[in-house]
Structure 1
Amino acid sequence: MVKISELRTREVINVLDGKKLGCIIDIDLDIEKGRVTAIVLPGPSRWLGFFSRRENVVVPWEKISKIGRDVILVELGDHLLS
């Protein structure tokens, strides 16, 4: 069993390109079915990111490969990161 507070401290890494995506900032829940449907990560910073809004990256639960002790491995193609 893993607590949400513990998941938020783990770095999320895309196994397709090895990039660090950051830590979980939110979780999507299906209240009726009682399950997690996705994790939410901060979007990539943009040039002059101070002035622009950053879009979050939603990672569907099915794209999570492994939840380890220190990291969470996901498989995200470029279309999910843009």
Structure 2
Amino acid sequence: MTLRELSEKDVIQIQTGEKLGRIDDVIFDEGNAALQSVVLRGRSHFFGLMGYDEDLVIPWHSIKKIGVDAIMTDVETDPVRPGSRRRCQ
């Protein structure tokens, strides 16, 4: 599967059914060339003029299933503050 194919799927939180967004980037561990995390860019407010939500960084081990249309994760999300990245456990 390519990054382009991954980025076309919605990322869904399993417990709540919340749509978290789509994958915009990945983080690799250079030492062993393994996929470490995926990054979902923060949502823009009023076309970006009012800022953006934080990026969401989801560890690869939190991805539970990659389906035809969606990616399921059990990551816990919490309220965000604009401007930086938040890492999930």
Superposition TM-score tier, normalisation by shorter sequence: 0.7 to 0.9
Given the alignment of the two structures, is residue 65 of structure 1 paired with residue 72 of structure 2, yes or no?
no
* Contact map agreement 2:26 2:39 (CA 8 A) in 1: yes
Partner residue in 1 for 2:28 = 29
Q: TM-score, normalised by structure 1?
A: 0.81
* Contact map agreement 1:16 1:76 (CA 8 A) in 2: no
Q: Percentage identity across aligned positions?
A: 33
* Contact map agreement 1:39 1:61 (CA 8 A) in 2: yes
Work out the number of aligned pairs and report it: 80
CA distance in 2, matches of 1:42, 1:58: 9
Q: CA deviation at 1:60?
A: 0.4
Letter of the structure 1 residue corresponding to residue 15 of structure 2: L
1:2-81 matches, within 5 Å, as 2-44=1-43, 50-79=49-78
* Contact map agreement 2:43 2:52 (CA 8 A) in 1: no
Gaps in structure 2 of 5+ consecutive residues: 81-89
SS at match of 2:42: coil
Gaps in structure 1 of 5+ consecutive residues: none
Q: As a proportion of its length, which structure holds more helix?
A: 1
Q: TM-score, normalised by structure 2?
A: 0.76
Q: CA deviation at 1:69?
A: 1.4
CA distance in 2, matches of 1:16, 1:50: 32
Q: Identify which range, 35-44 or 10-19, moves more after superposition.
A: 35-44
